[in-house]
């Protein structure tokens, strides 16, 4: 059962995350009795990077978007430290055999590494998106780790929101909007026609973090709820099952 009171009559749920998480989220929303609408805010393209001259002793993943790049760079028996359970599961599905999950955010990932790894003995390869992972790399270096950070993928904002989604927003068919990161929330809002924003802002926004909540509130949303944990499972629990 949802934690929300479901103030909307509309059972439409907007899902703004890109693949690989988009498809599984759409399925989960549909199974909960809602009508899911796909509107990814970002276009993801993996980078192909050569292996490092001096191989790392462990791999750090801040997003499952980096897994495709990692597969071409390192051996599958390399220890992998993932930010969350879903990223860890996807790394295992890709063939990595030693995978550890921080079950949280970048701070939890740093804490996991500090607990499990001796800094002076490790060379970490941190794979992230452009502009991401910089703070984590700096903090790990301050703890004594040797860290090589590389950009494993590009996340480009979509140029526009699909006309079919705009039509559903205007019609009031969408009651809830799911935003999975501050970056994607900002990109989605910017891609939306200005005259459609008031319709979108009438939906209830369910988000993964306070930073994401700040963005959608600034865009005009009044009803904003933050998941108790920064993962898709907690966000879907917040949505719950459709009352229809």
Per-residue H/E/C for 20-61: CHHHHHHHHHHHCCCEEEECCCEEEEECCCCCCCCCCCEEEE
Asked if residue 200 has pLDDT above 60, the reply is yes
Render pLDDT for 122-138 as a digit per residue (tens, 0 to 9). Answer: 899 999 998 889 999 99
pLDDT given at position 132 = 87
Return d(Cα 52, Cα 55) in angstroms, integer: 5
Instruction: Please tell me whether residue 99 adopts helix, strand or coil conformation.
Output: strand
Residue 168 φ then ψ, to 5°: -65, -35
Q: Are 61 and 112 in contact (CB under 8 A)?
A: no
pLDDT given at position 6 = 62
Q: Which CATH architecture is the domain 12-41+160-239 placed in?
A: 3-Layer(aba) Sandwich (3.40)
pLDDT given at position 214 = 98
pLDDT given at position 111 = 94
What share of the chain has pLDDT > 70, as a percent?
Answer: 96
pLDDT given at position 51 = 87
Asked if residue 5 has pLDDT above 70, the reply is no
Sequence-distant (6+) residues with CB within 8 A of 126 are: 60, 62, 133, 136, 137, 140, 147, 148, 149, 150
Give the chain's mean pLDDT: 93
Distances (CA, A) of 37 to 61, 81, 175, 186: 28, 32, 11, 18
Asked if residue 148 has pLDDT above 90, the reply is yes
Q: Are 79 and 146 in contact (CB under 8 A)?
A: no
* CATH 3.40.50.10090 domain extents, the chain: 12-41+160-239, 44-156
Q: Is the full-model pTM beyond 0.85?
A: no
Distances (CA, A) of 208 to 116, 122, 146, 236: 27, 31, 30, 10
Mean pLDDT across 5-23: 85
Asked if residue 242 has pLDDT above 70, the reply is yes
pLDDT given at position 10 = 87
What topology does CATH give the domain 44-156? Rossmann fold (3.40.50)
């Amino acid at each position: 059962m949802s934690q929300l009171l479901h103030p909307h009559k509309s059972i439409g749920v907007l899902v703004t995350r890109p693949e690989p998480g988009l498809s599984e989220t759409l399925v989960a929303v549909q199974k909960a009795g809602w009508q899911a609408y796909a509107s990814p805010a970002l276009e993801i393209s993996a980078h192909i990077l050569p292996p490092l001259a001096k191989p790392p002793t462990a791999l750090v993943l801040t997003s499952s978007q980096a897994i495709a790049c990692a597969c071409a760079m390192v051996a599958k028996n390399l220890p992998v430290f993932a930010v969350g359970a879903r990223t860890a599961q996807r790394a295992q599905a890709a063939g990595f055999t030693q995978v550890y999950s921080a079950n949280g955010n970048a701070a939890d990932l740093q804490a996991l590494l500090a607990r499990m790894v001796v800094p002076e003995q490790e060379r970490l390869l941190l794979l992230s998106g452009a502009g991401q992972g910089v703070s984590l790399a700096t903090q790990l270096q301050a703890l004594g780790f040797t860290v090589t950070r590389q950009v494993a993928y590009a996340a480009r904002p979509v140029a526009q929101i699909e006309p079919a989604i705009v039509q559903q927003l205007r019609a009031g068919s969408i009651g809830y909007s799911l935003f999975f990161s501050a970056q994607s929330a900002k990109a989605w809002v910017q891609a939306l026609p200005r005259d459609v924003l008031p319709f979108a802002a009438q939906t209830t926004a369910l988000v993964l973090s306070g930073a994401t909540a700040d963005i959608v509130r600034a865009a005009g949303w009044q009803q904003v709820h933050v998941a108790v944990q920064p993962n898709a499972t907690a966000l879907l629990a917040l949505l719950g099952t459709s009352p229809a």
